[in-house]
Structure 1
């Protein structure tokens, strides 16, 4: 019996702030164990949206991870959503303070207009099959100011991932994509998303260092999952569609060769290269 083919993942809106705060509280004890943080050479909101969109497709393969890769660290898959949302919340904590109530209305006005423009363009592209129609419909369903902020992040990731294919087929320009990726988090901060009642306050720490450590947890776990799905779906050749690189630039292309002190997702983290799956670096499974 042929195995079902997993659908291609598409970037998704990160989550409600309370869910992200809960995820951060869950992973916070692990932050102190990070000895060397990954350099942040990627847009965190877009990377988080890519990871969140990939989680359901990776989870659909969980049984195969367990059966065919017995030495795979399954916690990397089981905790991947927590790492993604925790990194998202750590990013919000590291942003400068918002402009206050006086600055909120201009942000909301700009965000609403930009969301509307990007959604119209995304729906046209989805109609022609260039981007995932279901993901666009999910973004369209968002209600309220918090969803507007998260929708901008998801739309920025959606356009960023497909940019090479859509840039000559849309009125959206790259600065619009970059603005959406920045405006979404800024709006969340202005809306008070960092203040979540009922949860312990984050431990006193340098916000930038805390963000780097949380992002490192995400990169390490996602890298393990990408290695695993590459093995499992090597013959089908759709592993990059199921778990796209977090370090892709416009259009899904990988970043240029990193500088000496930079790290890519395949090189990031102390666990990289120690997946325990019987594959050496760069080694593909037998066909």
Structure 2
């Protein structure tokens, strides 16, 4: 029995799968991006991944009829499905960190705690006032985080002299430092993301690629299983039982929901009934 691609030791991670497709997705021409019919990204990818073991059982028949091009679609399908899952994850993460106001407010409170103590120590000549002043808060998320790290660093540098003169503990410094560093990390990630394809557009393109790739596979399965009439059992439609109105839905628009516009060219093989079949004339 074929190994499930999501459990195979050589299967790429979700991130690796998407990274391998980023350039392709960023260059995807507009006519190949489906933007009207709705699909849930995670559900659609799940349907495909769940179908892979059944599809794999017909690989030899597909390769015999459609050659290397047909086999290539089968090889690419698990990567595209996993890339779609990761694109969905990245959009969710992007939404979660799009507003950093709460995180910045928390860091500002922590800054107030350590800066007030540092000022008190400077008044007692235990810390250099000029160095404390470099950590005075100013406007902006990044400067608040940086100022906080300046004060924490100053405390660490003089800890042996001030540890018995302040209610702060090493655990306090560790906590404050981690919060400030995390805020800087989120700011960096958000700024990096602004120079790349927006997460929502990336997911739309990923699911568009999934629809077209899976559509080609479904057409090939239909061809090789025409007389058995079980193609929909092997590779079910992505539109079967779809949910509507979900927050995670994206827009896709195939010409025909069950098949992509242009199939690969089969090698004609007579069918059992007068040579007729789904791709023969």
Give me the TM-score of the superposition, normalised by structure 2: 0.49
**Bigger helix fraction:** 2
* The structure with more radius of gyration: 2
